[in-house]
Amino acid sequence: MKVALIGVGQAGGKLAESLASHDLARSSVTGTLAVNTARADLQPLHIDTLLVGEAQVNGHGVGGDNELGARVMDADATEVMEALSGRVTSECDAILLVAGLGGGTGSGGAPVLARELSEVYDIPVYALGVLPGRNEGALYQKNAGRSLKTLAREADSVILVDNDAWRAAGESMDEGFAAVNDRIAQRVGLLLAAGEYEGRDVAAESVVDSSEVINTLREGSLAAIGYASAASSEDAAENLNAVTSVARNALLTGTSLPDATEASSALLVVAGDPDRISRKGVESARSWLGEETGTMQVRGGDMPLDSDRLAALVLLGGVERSPRVREFFERAGAAAEEVERADATESLVSDDLDGLL
Ligand code: GDP
């Protein structure tokens, strides 16, 4: 599946860079651009960059103000669209916006760009949205709640990654970002590799195609992905359990949105050496996936890789009814009230101070 990648904000830029560097051998990325209001966040990147909002914030970023982030992106939208035009080629199957939803620039700017891109291009506009972890502050939760509501409306689908999901035990948020970004890039990169396989002589009908990804994502506005891998035997017949257990682990312990197990559609990609993939295992994993997520729409396909391990990548479309999504919106709603109360107190205090001075 060929995509043009657009990173918005700090997390978006770093993730777009990680995704582009994971793609080197696969050629599923037709072009990459990082857009930000903060000059300092663009400087370390090795991909093309565009600074926006200079007139309003002079390269200093928008802080955590996602309303300002949205206004700035709106004002500079024409410039961004021009910079993107050469990267969205006729080969592209989709456009992928990448952003952390808890900050300011990505949170406010990604929904604006999703709207602009959908107006101009006929191909789907997807977003990869990073949700703040549970321990991040109220402003992050509030911002992410607002951003996600708009983004879900403007983009064709938002693939959610919870920042708590793929952090290894003991990794702090900051030191963990590089590792988390790497995991996100590896997994999303595998999804983008669908249909880009050229090489070994395998039964083409079983190889996963980009249309399977697009059709799975069509069934709802929020999506999640899961991944797991395991050692395998050389003989496919001996790998029935290996295939079913990687599929189980991908869904139950390896998803980007923990506990997102209710979906409108699902795609199971089994990656590995075609000679090692147990067809019976794939069949039983697919029917298990349908039962577990409560959907009759389960697609599937293989991704041939030269490896002695087997991996499962699960894509869930339409996860908005999942308990995890409800829990997130409750947290974001409570955080919004908290932020509003704090703002009201602050303005009372400053009114009092004004009266005293
Ligand atoms: P912006 O530059 O104003 O868009 O703000 P950020 O991109 O820094 O967004 C802040 C949110 O993104 C917070 O929830 C952070 O936890 C998260 N974040 C920041 N940097 C990274 C990163 O490199 N990787 C990941 N996964 N999340 C990040």
Complex confidence, ipTM: 0.99
CA-based max dimension of the chain = 82
Rg (CA), the chain: 21
Q: In what order do the strands lie in the sheet with 222-231?
A: 49-51, 29-36, 3-8, 94-100, 125-131, 157-162, 222-231, 309-317, 265-272, 298-304
- Determine the Cα–Cα distance for residues 334 and 44; give it in Å rounded to an integer: 36
**Whose C-alpha lies nearest to ligand 1, atom 18?**
11
CATH number of 3-193: 3.40.50.1440
The residue to which tokens 């990267």 are assigned: 87
Q: Which residues pair with 302 in a beta bridge?
A: 207, 270
Q: Residue 129: CB within 6 Å of ligand 1?
A: no
**CB hemisphere CA count around 264 (13 angstroms):** 15
> Quick check: 202 pLDDT over 90?
no
Mean pLDDT of 27-41: 96
pLDDT at residue 265, rounded to an integer: 97
Cα torsion angle, 221, 50, 85, 24, sign: negative
The domain ranges of the chain are 3-193, 224-317
**Whose C-alpha lies nearest to ligand 1, atom 14?**
132
Is there a binding annotation on residue 106? yes
The tens digit of pLDDT for each residue in 73-105 reads: 999 999 999 999 999 999 999 999 999 999 999
> Quick check: 171 pLDDT over 90?
no
Is there a binding annotation on residue 105? yes
Determine the atom of ligand 1 nearest the C-alpha atom of 173: 16
Q: What's the fold here for domain 224-317?
A: 60s Ribosomal Protein L30; Chain: A; (3.30.1330)
Q: Residue 210: CB within 6 Å of ligand 1?
A: no
The identity of residue 327, as a single letter, is: E
Determine the atom of ligand 1 nearest the C-alpha atom of 61: 3
pLDDT bin (cut points 50, 70, 90) of residue 355 is: low
The tens digit of pLDDT for each residue in 103-129 reads: 999 999 999 999 999 999 999 999 999
Q: Residue 132: CB within 6 Å of ligand 1?
A: yes
pLDDT at residue 349, rounded to an integer: 62
Tally of CB atoms within 10 A around 339: 17
pLDDT at residue 161, rounded to an integer: 97
Is there a binding annotation on residue 69? no
Is there a binding annotation on residue 10? yes
